[in-house]
Structure 1
């Protein structure tokens, strides 16, 4: 499992790209790739939890979604996570 931590600015491009991004994440969720995703309560960032075999797979997931290259979106951290409860 991997945790992707994002930070946001109020750039209008980010807000315009968000519906397509959420649709993309919803499709990945239906395939069991994305387990959880959502913005922080203050909308300064978001957290995405993905089930991927390695960092290269996580980076491929990010590369397939243009949201992550949109002004106003920054990937702060990609962290390997090993939960013991599901």
Structure 2
């Protein structure tokens, strides 16, 4: 297993993002309960979010991102998806 960090950016209006947020957060809670998502949360400036996955590889993280209601409803774009070598924690 490896850690993969994804950055997403909101591309829709705050109202459109807010309309999808409950389904998005329910999806993330399921991933967290299943062990695929370590942590996630929005940037303090409200422009997007960071998600940290524990998965087999970047491909699996990208598949989880594609299945996310935020992606499905087109309110975000994926800025980056990168494997992360954790040194402390994790």
Normalised to the residue count of structure 1, the TM-score between the two structures is: 0.88
Match of 1:17 in 2: 20
2:78 is paired with a residue whose SS is strand
The gaps in structure 2 that reach 5 residues or longer are: none
Say if 1:67 and 1:10 are closer, same or farther in 2 by CA, change over 3 A.
closer
The alignment covers a number of residue pairs equal to: 86
Structure 1 gap segments, 5+ residues each:
none
**Worse-superposed segment, 18-27 or 4-13:** 4-13
Structure with the larger strand share: 2
> Which residue in 2 is equivalent to 1:55?
58
Q: CA RMSD in A?
A: 1.4
Q: Give me the TM-score of the superposition, normalised by structure 2.
A: 0.85
**Which residue is 1:45 aligned to?**
48
